[in-house]
Amino acid sequence: MAIEDRIPRTIWWEDDKVRMIDQSRLPLVGDVLECEGYEGVCLAIRSMAVRGAPALGVAAALAVAAWVNNQSAEYDSHELFFAGLEDVVQEVKETRPTAVNLAWGAERMRRLAYANEARSLDEIRELLVDLKARVITKLIVGQFEYPVAELAAGQPPAEVRNLVRKEGAGIVRNPVRPYLTGEELDAIPFVSRFLASQVDLRRYKTPSELFPYMDILTGRGCCYGHCTYCLWVHTYVCGTSYSVRSIGNVIEELRYIERELPQVRSVMLQDDTFPDARAREFSEAKLAAGIRLPWSCYARGNMSYEVMALMKRAGCLNLHVGYESADPEVLQRIKKGVTVERMTQFTDDAKRAGLRIHGDFAVGFPGETPESFEKTIAWAKRLDPYTAQFQLMIPFPGTPYYNMMKEEGWLNERGEPDMPQFPNEQIRAMAKRAYRRFYLTPRYLWKCLCHPYDRVLVRLKTMARAVPAMFWRRW
């Protein structure tokens, strides 16, 4: 499979518009935003609809291109054009002042214009708008730290492994390096130090975590690594590879957060899944270190009660668990590797251990029917996790799930699940129904009364968006 087919598009130019995946709504939905003018791109950057250094750089360049492409007749002289360009570049940079790549993308467009100042305005405009197709000349596949460092140090592109680059009219793919070892992961500076200086933690909220919280990784990859729909195990760290930082290194970072960032109330360990052995080792080390900071992690629905009880003693607050579906045939088709019965027992054990659960359920799997998703809704209500989401499945290119849906003709023109027995509009309607049936109940309202700060007060903006989405807004 070609590399272009395996990497999902985040932001692109199409039909004289800037289009982007609305990352503020992931993972629930994969909406595409359309911005005809640069103002819309600026708004998307401010609202966190576009995130991540590479995407921000592209967004900045495309915002300038959109300004040029929709320019009014008032910019009919070089003086007026370049004055307007300066204003737009500055406005784009101010949408996220600390984003280095954002400033780079805008400045690159500015420098290109001034480098061709002697040309006619029509030529300059054509050059800037044409740049939209040439913004990305290099990209890194897989783990990026060492390739980026080598490029920054001036190493010839041909010698940088993991690099895909344009060369003339063609694309050259360099060899890919092995996945980083535990020692190499330990050598990477703590992400918490970067987040502390570059990110406003108050802007990030999630229903399942204490506010404010922080994400860190203790390892990369998934020790299970077979789920057909998972983007990460098929495009980033593939298969069952799971490279981990030393426990001592992780404990040192938690000490740093507890000491230097006292406003952080919990830490989310963003490992794809936290297996029993790793959870046991981490919990024992955290207890021995006397660190009281609450934490959460992703978990498969087959952890043992003994390990979960130990995790609770070590301050574990919440488990993020992918239940996906109550239909055994769906679970088998997506290679989930765990049964409904085992996940039900796991949920009972987690609650007995005193752990909260954020349940991930989804709709739009291959061959799924309205009847099977009704079972999933009913199962979610019986399991009664602390919080739950009912995600519209996103078929990411590069995953076996996407390939199956495409081969069967089960994707609509927007790339969304759309099957004869389960049309896209019905999938959307049932996802809304799932949210209403889970959250609009006396039991959940009672939980809100018991925990008003964590369940209501810090989520008012989220709730303001959620109510229209549950009833009348399309998503």
- What digits encode the pLDDT tens for the residues 136-185? 678 898 898 999 999 989 999 999 999 999 888 789 999 999 999 999 99
Residues contacting 296, CB < 8 A, separation 6+: 208, 209, 266, 267, 268, 269, 316, 317, 318, 319, 320
For the domain bounded by 3-136, which CATH number is listed?
A: 1.20.120.420
| Model pTM score | 0.75
Q: What is the model's pLDDT at position 3? A: 38
**What is the greatest pairwise CA distance in the chain?**
74
How many residues are given for the chain? 475
Q: What is the model's pLDDT at position 296? A: 97
Spell out, as residue ranges, where the chain has pLDDT lower than 70. 1-8, 25-30, 72-73, 131-136, 458, 474-475
Q: What is the model's pLDDT at position 431? A: 94
Q: In the chain, where are the structural domains located?
A: 3-136, 140-173, 182-471
Rounded CA-CA distance 65/62 in Å is 5
Q: Which class is domain 182-471?
A: alpha beta
* Each residue's pLDDT tens digit, 235-245: 889 999 999 99
